[in-house]
Amino acid sequence: MSFAHLLSILLLASSTLAKTVTYDFSVTWTKGNPDGQYERKVIGINGQWPIPQIDVDLGDRLVINFHNGLPDQDSSLHFHGLFQNGTTFMDGPAMVSQCPVPPGMNITYDFIVDQPGTYWYHSHVKGQYPDGIRGAFIVHDPQGPYKNSYDAEIILTLSDWYHEQMPVLAKRFISYLNPTGAEPVPQSALMNDSQNITLAVKPGKTYMVRMVNMAAFAAQYVWFEEHTMKVIEIDGIYTEPMDADMLYLTAAQRVSVLITTKNDTSKNYAFMGSMDQDLFDKVPDGLNPNVTGWLSYNSNAPLPAALPVPEFKPLDDMLLIPYSRIPLLPPADLTVTLNVTMSNLGDGANYAFFNGLTYVRPQVPTLFTALSVGDAATNPLVYGRDTVPHILPHMQIIDIVVNNQDPGKHPFHLHGHVFQTIFRSSDDAGNFEGHLESEYPKVPMIRDTILAPPGGHVVLRFRADNPGVWLFHCHLEWHLLSGLVTTFIEAPMELQRNTTIPENHRALCVKRGILMEGNAVGRKGKDVLDLRGENRSPDPLPEGFTARGIVALAGSTVTAILGMGAVVWYGGAQVPGEI
């Protein structure tokens, strides 16, 4: 088929089927008590919490009229996993591709959805989403390869839950009083923002269960007692079917499975989620990491207690093969190596680093810089040291090598793309030292969020075919706050050629007095490489100080460090955590 022919078919298909789906979302405080232990303020939409699920069909145009009705916090929306091809300004992270939405202001998100599958949406400002503004986003695909393989779809969200609000937890987390950087541990695990849910099923049917882990922090093991799951999609990518008894979903990952029900309706069956406690520095006494639900065949039969499993043996996602069978991309034109470390800065708090840099937001959103500095847009310096910028030239093949030099597990997410996961080491394998191309899988697994093994490495490959400004970051909300973020400025010259920021997006910057042109501090022309006054992370600790040393410090020394932190502070440094 010729390209023109294909195009005409696509146009015909889109003109007959595609529709515009509009949501009016007003974000406000409301109340919630999903674990039944504690009622608290939560961020809802249109007075509801849990917030609505977004449902569109492949090819639809989505319009969200978003109003920030919170009196006291900025907000924004990110649509996790959507490429925003041609609409990078709709991606959502504050000070990256837009200004934050101040209280009382509106923004319109308006884009075409041309990827099928299971996604989610959440705020991308100041670690806000765990306070409630996170929901499933489903792109139905009437022509999908498994369309005849199931009778009904079920959406099952997983998450973790804190009784305290994020601003309080964040302040305690990034503090000289928490020098080891111990992350707050959630109080509960949730399913569908609830617990003990029952799911009425009919005998002898096949259900497509779409699972989304919307957690702030906790990965979950998931299993359905006495029912096999057949994996058919991960992160919006159809896979060849693969059976699994147990799955592992990091924060931000999605998996769709087919589950065929039994013919016998005499019994009900538990399904379980269990938080991966390896992530928790210290497991609080009495923490229940588990959440249970039931496949209900018979409302008169009891709901049996879940059986303990002796060990967690989830499916290795590296084994999954994309249904499209897209072969290994050619060898990389550009390799971006990112060493992950954690350590303390001069304010005594613990931060996370890519190659020794911890992310701090710029004074001009990075996209606005890329669009306004002419040829200088290809020079990473203009974006500011602590946006951790990397320029990706148009259409090049990029390898991202993540050397996780930290003993923790980190789920990394790339905006604007999916990637081939061409290698993942075992735990504690050390840094990547290169491989022969022939050692990579011929048809690598593809997804948008990947777990980097503790002390090991992962190698990701994609083509820079989507001009835009895209973050690559750890999706543990704590590590986003502590700076484990890098900014990819992809094909800035191509971006300049054809990007117009909508007026209602610009109005947010005007309202806040945020500059919309120039380098990271707003300088242009001959001064475009002058970054004086840029936002920076706190200075390093003086020689000889270590995290352990800080833990052992007595009051007077802490005061000394605090004083030093204050000097840095008034010197213009900014705390991370704006995205």
Ligand X SMILES: *[C@@H]1O[C@H](CO)[C@@H](O)[C@H](O)[C@H]1NC(C)=O
Q: Which residue, 66 or 359, is less far from Cu ion as judged by CB? A: 359
Per-residue interface string for the shown chain with ligand X, residues 59-98, x marking contact by CB under 6 A: ------x-x---------------x-xx------------
Residue 467 contact, options ligand X, Cu ion, none, Cβ 5-8 Å cut-off depending on partner type: none
Query: How far apart, in whole angstroms, are the C-alpha atoms of residue 423 and residue 60?
Result: 35
Residue 196 contact among ligand X, Cu ion, none, beta carbon within 5 to 8 Å by kind: ligand X
CA distances from 111 to 39, 96, 181, 449, 469 (A): 36, 18, 38, 22, 16
CA 23 to CA 60: how far, in whole Å? 13
Q: Which does 410 bind (CB under 5 to 8 A by kind): ligand X, Cu ion, none?
A: Cu ion
Q: Which bin fits 494, alpha (ψ -120 to 50), beta or left (φ > 0)?
A: alpha
Does position 493 interact with ligand X (CB under 6 A)? The reply is no
Nearest distance, CB of residue 553 and ligand X, angstroms: 28
Segment near ligand X (CB under 6 A), from 189-197, 366-374, 451-459, 535-543?
Answer: 189-197
The reply on whether position 380 binds ligand X by CB under 6 A is no
**Binding residue for ligand X, selected from 11, 36, 171, 548, defined by CB under 6 A:** 36
If the CB atoms of residues 130 and 293 are measured against Cu ion, the closer one turns out to be 130
Smallest gap, in angstroms, from Cβ of residue 340 to Cu ion?
8
Partner that binds at residue 403, options ligand X, Cu ion, none, CB closer than 5 to 8 Å by kind: ligand X
E strands within 9-91?
20-32, 40-45, 54-57, 61-68, 78-80
Please tell me whether residue 425 binds ligand X under the rule CB under 6 A.
no
From the CB of 442, what's the least distance to ligand X, in Å? Answer: 21
Residue 549 interacts, among ligand X, Cu ion, none and using kind-specific CB cut-offs from 5 to 8 Å, with none
Contact 179, 159 (CB under 8 A): no
Q: d(Cα 158, Cα 214) in Å, to the nearest integer?
A: 6
Identified binder of ligand X from the candidate list 277, 355, 426, 559, rule CB under 6 A: 355
Contacts (CB under 6 A) with ligand X, residues 198-227? 199, 204
Nearest distance from residue 443's CB to ligand X, in Å? 19
Options 14, 28, 53, 187; binder of ligand X; rule CB under 6 A: 53
Give CA torsion, residues 514, 516, 521, 526, to 10 deg.
-150
Q: How far is the CB of 479 from Cu ion (least distance, A)?
A: 3
> Binds 24, which of Cu ion, ligand X, none (CB < 5 to 8 A, cut-off by type)?
ligand X
Contact positions with ligand X (CB under 6 A) in 101-140: 106
Q: Which is nearer to ligand X, 290 or 574 (CB)?
A: 290
Q: Which does 476 bind (CB under 5 to 8 A by kind): Cu ion, ligand X, none?
A: Cu ion
Cis peptide before 203 (omega within 30 of 0): no
For the record, the structure tokens of 19 come out as 């529709």
Question: Dihedral of CA 320/324/325/328: which sign?
Answer: negative
Distances in Å between the Cα of 506 and the Cα atoms of 66, 377, 514 are 15, 20, 9
What is the smallest separation between the CB atom of 341 and Cu ion, expressed in angstroms? 11
Element (H, E) at 238: strand 237-244
Provide DSSP, 278-339.
GG-SSPPTT---EEEEEEES-TTS--PPPPP-SS-----GGG--BTT-PPPPPPPSEEEEEE
**Which of 123, 403, 425, 487: binder of ligand X (CB under 6 A)?**
403
Q: Pick from ligand X, Cu ion, none: which does 499 bind, CB < 5 to 8 A by kind?
A: none
Q: Are 247 and 223 in contact (CB under 8 A)?
A: yes
Binding partner of residue 197 among ligand X, Cu ion, none, CB cut-off 5 to 8 Å per kind? ligand X
- The residue length of the chain stands at 579
154 binds ligand X (CB under 6 A): yes
Q: Closest approach of Cβ 382 to ligand X, in Å?
A: 21
Write the CB contacts of 171 (distance below 8 Å, at least 6 apart in sequence).
none
Residue 256 near ligand X by CB under 6 A: no
DSSP characters over 453-508: PTT-EEEEEEE--S-EEEEEEE-SHHHHHTT-EEEEEE-HHHHHHT----HHHHHH
* 339 contributes a contact to ligand X by CB under 6 A: yes
> If 0-12 CB within 10 Å is exposed, 13-18 middle and 19+ buried, where does residue 243 land?
exposed
Q: Count Cα atoms within 13 angstroms, Cβ side, for 467.
A: 15
Q: Which CB sits closer to Cu ion, 251 or 371?
A: 251
- The CA R_g of the chain, rounded to the nearest whole Å, is 24
Is residue 334 near ligand X by the rule CB under 6 A? no
Q: How far is the CB of 225 from ligand X (least distance, A)?
A: 10
Selected from 196, 324, 546, 559, the binder of ligand X by CB under 6 A is 196
Q: Which positions lie near Cu ion, rule CB under 5 A?
A: 410, 474, 476, 479
Report CA-CA distances (Å) from 248 to 199, 243, 313. Answer: 21, 14, 9
**Which lies closer to Cu ion via its Cβ, residue 56 or residue 219?**
219
Nearer to Cu ion, 410 or 447 (CB): 410
Any contact of residue 496 with ligand X (CB under 6 A)?
A: no
| Residue number with CB closer to ligand X (179 or 293) | 293
State the Cα–Cα distance between residues 181 and 474, nearest whole angstrom.
Answer: 15
266 binds ligand X (CB under 6 A): no
Q: Residue 456 and residue 454: Cα distance in Å, rounded? A: 5
The residue type of 246 is: M
Which residues bind to ligand X, rule: CB under 6 A?
24, 26, 35-36, 53, 65, 67, 83, 85-86, 106, 154-156, 192, 195-197, 199, 204, 262-263, 274, 288-290, 293, 308-309, 337, 339, 355, 403, 417, 431, 465-466, 498
